[in-house]
Amino acid sequence: MKLSYLINLKLILIYLLPICQVISPQISVALSANGKGLEGMKLYQNKNFNKASQKFSDALNDKPTDSKLTYNLGNSLYKEGQFEKALQNYSKLVEKETNNLIKQKSTYNMGNTLYRMNKLDESVLAYKKALELDSTDMNAKYNLEFVREQIKNKKKNEEKKDNPEESKDNKNSDKKNNSSQDVKETNKEKNLAHQKEANTKKNQEQKDNQNNPSRTKEIPLKGMSKEEAEHRLSSLSEDIKKFQQKQALDMKSLFNYQGNDW
């Protein structure tokens, strides 16, 4: 029960670590008795990476086959930001090292270094190799998934750049919707104008009908007998005759002088 708890706690702590902490060199491997190498370790722990690299390099001149010195030199160079040189040291160990622990950690650190150099696909291969050497390396598992996600996002962004038509279609769609709305508004205005015109025409016809009785009389001949039609026509003729007589009188009165002589 206690062991299970400790394992779960370790997993939680690993996944809570910021990526800048996870993608960094594994802790340095202990050195054999070597004055310069031990000085380099102290400088490294104090984050004086530039001097640490120098001490490790000097120590390697004395013991060029010491894999622990090569590993720690790679770590201090990585911390300095000299990724190309760090990668060279890790690569030597991956190719020739027989100590599985140092080889696995060097492979993992190769993944970190390649990631920092923006070589994402190569970084993924290094993490996979590190997991082949140690399937329990949770940092390698986390970093592998992290870099895969970075690659996926990068591809999506590149596809958007390569296919500007998609964003263009979205813009055209918005423009089309706006145009459609404008057409609807224009049609609405036209309908209102037609309605207003029709109302004006109707009012004018009503006024004309009031002033001209002959237009108010309609003769629906369809469905009527001959006698009814003749009666309607006769009535209409009488109305027209009366209207004409009234108009004649009105016109006459206009030309007659009205008023008193003085």
Average pLDDT over residues 48-56: 95
- Look at 73-87, 119-133, 216-230 and tell me which has the smallest mean pLDDT: 216-230
According to DSSP, residue 232 is labeled: H
Q: Between these two residues, 28 and 161, which has the higher pLDDT value? A: 161
Query: Which residue matches tokens 């902490």?
Result: 21
Give 220 or 73, the one with higher predicted confidence.
73
pLDDT band for position 74 (cuts 50, 70, 90): very high
Name, in order, each residue with C-beta under 8 angstroms of 104's C-beta and a sequence gap of 6 or more: 130, 133, 134, 137
Q: What is the CA radius of gyration of the chain?
A: 50
What is the helix (H) or strand (E) element at residue 39, kind and residue range?
helix 35-45
Decide if pLDDT at 3 tops 80.
no
Kindly tell me the sign of the dihedral angle through the C-alpha atoms of 130, 134, 135, 136: negative
Mean pLDDT of the chain: 75
